[in-house]
Amino acid sequence: MSVLFDVRNLVFRYPKSKEDILKGISFTVETGQIFGLLGPSGAGKSTTQKILIKILNNYQGEIFYRGKDLRTYDKSFYEDIGVGFEMPVHFNKLTARENMKYFASFYQRHLDCVALMEKLNLADAIDMEVGQFSKGMKVRLNFVRAMLNNPRVLFLDEPTAGIDPANARIIKDLILDFKKRGGTVFITTHLMSDVEQLCDEVIFMTDGMVGKKAAPRDLKIQYGNRLVTVEYYDDAGLRRQQFDLKDLGHNRNFLDIISRYDIETIHSGETSLEEIFIIVTGANNE
Ligand SMILES: Nc1ncnc2c1ncn2[C@@H]1O[C@H](COP(=O)(O)OP(=O)(O)OP(=O)(O)O)[C@@H](O)[C@H]1O
Ligand SMILES: [Mg+2]
């Protein structure tokens, strides 16, 4: 895999902020992966996304996009990227179709927005004023807006926040389709179920600093207590016993139990991503 974004020692503060919001972060995003930026509220995730999409420019450090300094790219950079902002922004007096037509007019490449709206269960709302949309409808339309220039890289800031599980599933499937077609995704989310279903690698951000990049599965192994819990029946009734996953195949007691008794359940003890989030970020106030 090649490196798509290479972020080195990124430091940023807003004109009005008293201290640095990003405190020298470094990470890479590989081409063709779904990369998750996770962290508690106020950590600096949306700020990082805004810098990567060239909305905020006054930063220190270096960002390379496809091997070239991001600062050297002109407007053609916007042809490459699709952005789903944290707060959906549309013209309320215009219909969904008119909104999409307007935003599409900025780009050379286009995607069939009507087909995408239909996939997102917005078929009946295409000619409705966006001001009459529910919150979840606006979030879905925001996703269409991110895709409308058929981008190479998709930036999604909490793409499933505030929508129902069925529509969230549709969005996640569309994100996975996008990846299958070779696209790269930079996603920010608080929903660990999204991370589990989508992300190849994640990085945790706390107070403007980041940890090491890791695959969700590896994090679970690293933080998991790696125990196996067996529930089984013996003459006295239901019993429950825990074993270390390590060398389980040679654990006589375990082997004895599974060969002699009726097993009710066996579970491996894995720490959930929610627990890992709290451990890593110390975010008890989330
Ligand atoms: N325009 C601004 N001017 C000054 N400070 C800002 C501005 N926008 C954001 N901040 C501050 O920067 C910090 C990081 O904000 P950011 O929006 O990047 O957080 P986040 O990680 O995306 O949080 P959330 O999960 O709540 O979306 C916060 O302390 C916030 O108050
Ligand atoms: Mg944010």
Q: Please choose from 21, 158, 189, 277 the residue to mutate so as to test ligand 1's pocket, defined by most ligand atoms within 8 A of CB.
A: 21
Instruction: Assess if CATH 3.40.50.300 describes domain 3-215.
Output: yes
Q: How far is the CA of 267 from the centre of ligand 1 (A)?
A: 40
Q: Of the candidates 50, 29, 46, which has an alpha carbon nearest to the alpha carbon of residue 38? A: 46
pLDDT of residue 240: 93
The pLDDT tens digits of the residues spanning 122-152 come to 999 999 999 999 999 999 999 999 999 999 9
Rounded Cα distance between 159 and 157, Å, is 6
Name the more confident of 246 and 157. 157
Kindly report, residue by residue over 143-194, the tens digit of the pLDDT: 999 999 999 999 999 999 989 999 999 999 999 999 999 999 999 998 898 9
Q: Across the chain, what does the average pLDDT equal?
A: 93
pLDDT grade, residue 107 (50/70/90)? very high
Ligand 1 site residues, Cβ closer than 6 angstroms? 14, 16-17, 21, 39, 41-47, 86
Kind and range of the H or E run holding 49: helix 45-52
Ligand 1 pocket mutation, candidates 41, 47, 51, 188, criterion most atoms within 8 A of CB: 47
Residue nearest to atom 30 of ligand 1 (CA): 42
- Ligand with minimal distance to 37 CA: 1
Q: What is the Cα–Cα distance from 192 to 221, expressed in whole angstroms? A: 16
Q: Is 238 exposed, middle or buried (0-12, 13-18, 19+ CB in 10 A)?
A: exposed
Task: Identify the pLDDT of residue 283.
Answer: 55
Q: What is the distance in A from the centroid of ligand 1 to the CA of 47? A: 6
Nearest to 155 by CA among 188, 180, 178: 188
* pLDDT interval class at 117 (50, 70, 90): very high
pLDDT digits (tens, 9 = 90+) for 249-268: 999 999 999 999 999 999 88
Q: Look at ligand 1, atom 29, and give the residue with the nearest C-alpha.
A: 42
CB 230 within 8 A of CB 263: yes
Atom of ligand 1 nearest to the CA of 190: 25
Domain limits, the chain = 3-215, 225-269
Nearest atom in ligand 1 to the alpha carbon of residue 43 is 21
Give the residue whose CA is nearest to atom 27 of ligand 1: 41
For residue 222, what pLDDT is reported?
Answer: 83
Q: Is the pLDDT of residue 214 over 90?
A: yes
21 has a pLDDT exceeding 50: yes
Report the alpha-carbon distance of residue 255 to residue 243 in Å, rounded.
Answer: 11
User: How much is the pLDDT for 89?
Assistant: 84
Q: Give the residue, by CA position, lying nearest to ligand 1 atom 14.
A: 44
> How many other CB atoms sit within 10 Å of the CB of residue 144?
24
User: What is the DSSP code (8-state) at residue 161?
Assistant: T
271, 225 contact by CB (below 8 A): yes
Of residues 99 and 1, more confidently modeled: 99
Report the share of the chain in percent with pLDDT over 90: 81
Output the CA 140–ligand 2 centroid distance in Å: 18
**For residue 51, what is the DSSP state?**
H
Quick one: which atom of ligand 1 is closest to the CA of 16?
4
